[in-house]
Structure 1
Amino acid sequence: MQVPVVRRVAPSHRILTLPQSAPLPHPSWAAVARKAVRSAFAFLKIEDPTVVELLFVDESAIRALNSSARGRDSVTDVLSFPALSLTPGQQPRRMAGAADWTDGRIALGSIVICTQRALAQADEYGHSPIREFAFLAAHSALHLLGYDHETSPEDEKRMFALQEQILKAANILR
């Protein structure tokens, strides 16, 4: 009698790229941002299928979002809007009674990247725009999973080290 082989299939993480208010100069930049988010979830071994919204906006849109969400009237590079209140290392789970519009996936939230700011930072830091878009997407994915670099110097070190490990695992290098 043969014993059936059970293979664990990797969870399906869907990254929805929404219509953007700031066109991307190169279409592969959205693809690399999606890859970075998926890589973050794989690196952290997120077990259940998820869905994340990804949006690219201009400086005026990110400034308005930053002002309304965080009370900061300034342009920023990326904003995260978590749908769940997670702690670092916690597995996302479906909330009882939550509306299921995600075909069974757990809605983690939204990532909003400012295109102009990302391009300026790539130039400032001396690396490619692809690397910067991936860095910002991985950074924001960690925020959706409960990580926060603004709580303490130790949390900041941990989060930025994780981002570098995620990008290295995804082969997105400087």
Structure 2
Amino acid sequence: MTFCVENETGAQFDFDPEEVAALVAKEVLRSEGCDREVEISLTITNDEGIQELNREFREIDRPTDVLSFPNVSYEEPGDFSVMEGEQEVDLLNPDTGNIMFGDIVVNEDRVRSQAQEYGHSTKREFAFLIAHSMLHLCGYDHMEEDEAKVMEKKQSDVLNTLGITRD
């Protein structure tokens, strides 16, 4: 797995965001049974930057905590067989042979405010947002109650496996 990280705001945390993101992403991929080599782009921005993206891509003119832009079109969440055949040609990075899995944008302002609001560390909040976004990149959603329950359990399982729990 390759992570391309762009820290637009120069955000400083008491942990290495690239290291935590890679750790969480690898665990999501492992738990989902994805054995393909993937490339993920991670951008760290702020309220202003994510609001601009949210307005442009989702037509929602307000900041949010995280945005996910999956490159893979799934028939069923977590069914990575769709990355073979015709879709694979469009997903492959010709220079590396890796699957261009998708993009994650994390709002550093929300990492800090939500960590404080929920009473846990910024590392835990950041890891949660990465797990959440990675599940979106794996085809999961939370628009319906049953979908939300599946995502919540998967997020919790990943973070518990890694020992990144609420303080």
Q: Which residue of 2 is the match for residue 9 of structure 1? A: none
Deviation of residue 111 (structure 1)? 0.2
Q: Compare CA radii of gyration and give the structure with the larger one.
A: 1
For structure 2, the 5+ residue unaligned runs are: none
Q: Which residue of 2 is the match for residue 165 of structure 1? A: 157
CA distance in 2, matches of 1:46, 1:112: 22
Aligned with 2:106 (options 100, 113, 123)? 113
| TM-score when normalising by structure 2 | 0.90
RMSD of Structure 2 on Structure 1 (CA)? 1.5
Q: Residues 34 and 137 of structure 1 are in contact (CA less than 8 Å); yes or no, is this contact kept in structure 2?
A: no
With 27-36 and 129-138 compared, the bigger mean Cα shift is at 27-36
Q: Residues 51 and 102 of structure 1 are in contact (CA less than 8 Å); yes or no, is this contact kept in structure 2?
A: no
For structure 1, the 5+ residue unaligned runs are: 1-12
Aligned with 2:132 (options 136, 139, 152)? 139
Deviation of residue 96 (structure 1)? 4.5
The within-5 A match list for 1:7-156 is 13-18=1-6, 20-26=7-13, 28-86=16-74, 87-91=76-80, 93-94=83-84, 95-98=87-90, 100-101=93-94, 103-150=96-143, 152-156=144-148
CA distance in 2, matches of 1:88, 1:16: 24
- Give secondary structure in 2 for the equivalent of 1:97: helix
List per-residue Cα deviations over 1:87-140 (Å, max 9, x = no partner).
312115152532534501111110000001111000000000000000000100
CA distance in 2, matches of 1:137, 1:107: 17
CA distance in 2, matches of 1:155, 1:35: 24
CA distance in 2, matches of 1:31, 1:123: 22
4+ aligned runs moved over 6 Å, structure 1: none
Higher helix proportion, which one?
2
Q: Residues 66 and 74 of structure 1 are in contact (CA less than 8 Å); yes or no, is this contact kept in structure 2?
A: yes
